[in-house]
Amino acid sequence: MTENPPVRRLSDWSPKRLRALAGEHGTPLYVLDPDRVRENAARLRGAFPEADVSYALKANTTRAVLETVESTGLGAECASAGEVQRAIDAGFPAHRVRYTAVNPPARDLDHVVELAQSHDFVLTIGALDTLDRLLDRGYAGRLCVRVNPGVGAGHHAKVTTGDAPQFGVPYDRAAGVCARIRTETPALDLVGLHAHAGSGISGEDLSAHRELVRRMGALGSEVGGLDFVAVGGGFGVPYRPDEPPLDLDAVAEETREAFEGCDAQLAIEPGRYLVADCGVLLMSVTAVKPTPETTVIGVDAGMTTLLRPALYDAVHEIRSLTEENDRVDRSCLIAGPICETADVLDRDRSLPDPQRGDVLAVGNAGAYGYEMASQYNSRPRPAVVSATGERIARRETVSDLTRLER
């Protein structure tokens, strides 16, 4: 059973410390706590003691996070050549790295095949076409086949992958593809199968996850001779303060039961679960505008800083860090500085009478926050610091926006 708290709420962060970091480093500012990453990794290892656990880098690739994850002994699951390079640069042993691309561009394959000449990581294919492209480049090494299990789940339609046709070899063709690889490509070592239901899977989706695991376990037994069968990660986290945390031990037990009978090692690849609650986003109030409909609160962070609300209609807990306790709460619309109607971080959010200069904190911002930040509207990306104030990524400047154009 796991022992440390299953989720870190925004209320668990010290308002005084966050205010101090905002004052020292400015806003918008991401604050990450590596110690929380270690706690989450320990909880995963405790719930899945016999599984091969890897971190899905796409959730957060900052060097500090990667080095922390690597120090816990987890592997690295990479969706691009850039993520493979980051994992190796952060110290992950090559044999603990898996490249799981979707429709990989030519330059990605060029890079990973070149890297594979000196690093023994696993390359995953989701189509026979990708296999042909690897063979054209002379790849000879460990191989995994991504399977489309026909079962999907997730917190939003845009991240439900298990039944989307662009992800993996169709389930009913997978065994034949594996047989072809073994008979026609002796230079390749087929070591695993991979599937992923989706991202942010919660209690409502566990039946779909269980069915995916059952199907992949059966397929692994049919193919035989595999080192591992990866069933993805996608474990959900509670973004709303009243939402209960995922019962990870129950998920682990159901996963083991569904996988029972397969001789290959079970592999999981969580991303969000490891890093979401290790981070908060700090932003400052720049304007307060009463309107007939609501009070509009302008802030210096927007969809270029935190894309999830605009892209997924995601809801993050937002709190004021003001020390004053006598302000009357107001229902507010919190909007960023981007010239888009979608640039709204929250609606009908109750805040104590917001004033210009107040600092607001956004919870569960460690996953897909800084990672998805952009320079749209020519806005520099924010800085990232650790909870103790050490710089993880410097704040971009206006001159950085055109650095590649010179």
Q: Which conformational region is residue 313 in: left (phi greater than 0), alpha (psi within -120 to 50 degrees), or beta?
A: left
Q: Give strand pairing partners of 386.
A: 32
CA–CA distance, 198 with 167 (Å, rounded to integer): 11
Residue 197: per-residue pLDDT: 73
Q: Tell how far CA 151 is from the center of its chain.
A: 20
pTM of the model: 0.93
Task: Say whether the peptide bond before residue 28 is cis (omega within 30 degrees of 0).
Answer: yes
Q: What is the pLDDT of residues 370-381, one digit of tens each?
A: 999 999 999 999
25 in a domain, yes or no? no
- One domain for residues 162 and 65: yes
Lowest mean pLDDT among 157-161, 299-303, 356-360, 400-404: 157-161
- One domain for residues 286 and 157: no
389 in a domain, yes or no? yes
- One domain for residues 258 and 282: no
**CATH number, domain containing residue 379:** 2.40.37.10
Reported as a pLDDT band with limits 50, 70 and 90, residue 4 is confident
- One domain for residues 297 and 207: no
13 in a domain, yes or no? no
Kindly calculate the radius of gyration of the chain based on its CA atoms and give it in whole angstroms. 22
What value does the mean pLDDT take over residues 214-228? Answer: 96
Inter-residue contact 80 to 108 (CB < 8 Å): yes
Q: Name the domain boundary from 270, 291, 318.
A: 270
> How many other CB atoms sit within 10 Å of the CB of residue 2?
17
11 in a domain, yes or no? no
330 in a domain, yes or no? yes
Q: What is the pLDDT of residues 222-279, one digit of tens each?
A: 999 999 999 977 888 999 988 999 999 989 999 999 999 999 999 999 999 999 999 9
24 in a domain, yes or no? no
- One domain for residues 310 and 266: no
- One domain for residues 248 and 314: no
DSSP class of 244: P
- One domain for residues 363 and 338: yes
- One domain for residues 185 and 323: no
Kindly write down the DSSP assignment for every residue of 153-177, as one continuous string: --SSGGGB-TT-TTSSEEHHHHHHH
Residue 145, domain extent: 34-270
CA–CA distance, 392 with 363 (Å, rounded to integer): 19
Say if residue 165's pLDDT is above 90.
no
- One domain for residues 243 and 317: no
Q: Which amino acid is at 338?
A: I
Residues ≥6 apart with Cβ < 8 Å to 50: 265, 266
29 in a domain, yes or no? no
Name the residues annotated as catalytic: 339
Structure tokens at 65: 């996070």
Domain count, the chain: 2
**CATH number, domain containing residue 152:** 3.20.20.10
Q: Name the domain boundary from 238, 270, 302.
A: 270
Q: What is the pLDDT of residues 15-73, one digit of tens each?
A: 999 999 999 999 999 999 999 999 999 999 999 999 999 999 999 999 999 999 999 99
CA–CA distance, 302 with 281 (Å, rounded to integer): 11
Q: What is the pLDDT of residues 288-335, one digit of tens each?
A: 999 999 999 999 999 999 999 999 999 999 999 998 778 889 999 999
User: What torsion, rounded to 10 degrees, do the Cα atoms 44, 46, 52, 54 define?
Assistant: 20
Q: Name the domain boundary from 239, 270, 301.
A: 270
> How many other CB atoms sit within 10 Å of the CB of residue 19?
16
Inter-residue contact 8 to 278 (CB < 8 Å): yes
Calculate ∠ Cα 380-291-285, nearest 5°.
30
Structure tokens at 192: 């695993």
Residue 78 belongs to what H/E stretch? strand 75-78
Q: What is the pLDDT of residues 64-116, one digit of tens each?
A: 999 999 999 999 999 999 999 999 999 999 999 999 988 999 999 999 999 99
CA–CA distance, 199 with 94 (Å, rounded to integer): 25
Q: Which amino acid is at 215?
A: R
- One domain for residues 316 and 227: no
Q: What is the mean pLDDT of the chain?
A: 92
95 in a domain, yes or no? yes
Residue 205: per-residue pLDDT: 63
Residue 298: per-residue pLDDT: 98
- One domain for residues 259 and 178: yes
Token pair 């926050």 is found at 369
- One domain for residues 104 and 198: yes
